């Protein structure tokens, strides 16, 4: 599933970045080498990060 339409970031990308230590949507974008743009994905990205941190 695509999480960030502006940068074509998929859910699996966000989960992998969270597992590598990214704790915020901005950190995920930075880790993937893509600049944050409109911000509409921030809430969903944060929920995915929270899920991954809860599992770890």
Confidence (pLDDT) at 10: 98
pLDDT of residue 13: 98
Identify the architecture of domain 2-55 in CATH: Orthogonal Bundle (1.10)
The count of C-alpha atoms lying within 13 angstroms of the C-alpha of 23, restricted to the half-sphere facing its C-beta, is: 0
Please, what sign has the CA dihedral across residues 4, 17, 44, 55? positive
Spatial separation of the C-alpha atoms in residues 53 and 47, rounded to whole Å: 10
The reported pLDDT for the residue numbered 46 is 98
This prediction's pTM: 0.93
pLDDT at 24: 97
Taking only the tens place, the pLDDT of each residue in 1-56 is: 999 999 999 999 999 999 999 999 999 999 999 999 999 999 999 999 999 999 87
The confidence score (pLDDT) of residue 38 equals: 95
Residue 3, SS3 per DSSP: strand
């Amino acid at each position: 599933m695509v999480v960030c339409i502006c940068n074509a970031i998929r859910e699996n990308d966000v989960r992998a970045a969270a597992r590598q230590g990214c704790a915020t949507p901005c950190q995920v974008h930075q880790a993937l080498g893509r600049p944050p743009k409109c911000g509409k994905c921030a809430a969903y990205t944060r929920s995915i990060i929270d899920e991954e941190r809860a599992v770890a």
